[in-house]
């Protein structure tokens, strides 16, 4: 009985994450990225989803990266990888959004990054210059559920995978839920 009460108190409710994911302004696509790092294996799962301003899926990818040293490298690889995916799809006006605040700040810095992930940060900034419009945004994990779900999707697949204008049904359900709760009351 106590376990059921505790579970019901801890279970996320729609109000716990409502309005955390926000659609992009007109003409901008949003790239949500995330990474999951397994330190004992030095493996990172990378997830990226690209949505238009109405929250419709344009593309999504999930991949594994081997020999990744720190968790920050995994998050920075996810940012670069998601941006590269949008570029390859011909999308040129984007907001790159992720839940790794340190990586978002590093990408916003005008000064040269001298950390151990400086090469990835430099490469991502160089790629960003190829876009007509490029913005960065931090979002809490609760608003980045779809990108995180793609990481879990990768661990269940035998190889990397990409979807264009589609995704597995359970991920489409998450996208629909986010759109529903991001709409004004």
Torsion angle, CA of 139/157/181/21, rounded to 10 degrees? 10
Q: Give dist(CA 172, CA 165) in Å, integer.
A: 11
pLDDT of residue 99: 93
Domains of the chain and CATH, by start: 29-180 (3.30.420.10)
Q: How far is CA 150 from CA 41, 85, 114, 125, in A?
A: 20, 14, 30, 24
Give one word for 19, left, alpha or beta, with left for phi > 0 and alpha for psi -120 to 50: left
Nearest-angstrom CA–CA distance, 44 and 38: 6
Which pLDDT score is estimated for 103? Answer: 96
Q: What is the mean pLDDT of each run of 10 residues along the chain (185 residues)?
A: 36 44 87 89 89 92 85 92 96 96 95 93 96 95 86 76 90 84 55
Separation of alpha carbons 183 and 54, rounded Å: 10
Strand ranges across the sheet with 57-66: 133-138, 93-98, 29-38, 43-51, 57-66, 161-164
Amino acid 20: pLDDT: 60
Predicted local distance difference test score (pLDDT) of residue 4 = 38
């Amino acid at each position: 009985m106590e376990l059921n009460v505790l579970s019901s108190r801890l279970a996320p409710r729609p109000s716990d994450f409502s309005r955390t994911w926000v659609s992009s302004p007109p003409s901008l696509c949003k790239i949500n990225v995330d990474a999951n790092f397994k330190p004992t294996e030095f493996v990172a799962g990378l997830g990226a989803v690209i949505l238009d301003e109405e929250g419709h899926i344009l593309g999504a990818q999930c991949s594994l990266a081997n020999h990744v040293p720190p968790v920050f490298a995994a998050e920075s690889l996810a940012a670069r990888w998601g941006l590269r995916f949008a570029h390859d799809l011909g999308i040129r006006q984007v907001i790159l959004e992720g839940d790794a605040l340190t990586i978002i700040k590093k990408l916003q810095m005008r000064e040269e990054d001298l950390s151990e992930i400086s090469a990835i940060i430099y490469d991502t900034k160089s790629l960003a210059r190829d876009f007509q419009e490029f913005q960065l945004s931090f979002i809490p994990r609760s608003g980045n559920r779809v990108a995180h779900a793609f990481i879990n999707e990768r661990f269940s697949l035998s190889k990397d995978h990409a979807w264009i204008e589609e995704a597995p049904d359970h991920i489409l359900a998450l996208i629909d839920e986010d759109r529903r709760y991001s709409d004004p009351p």
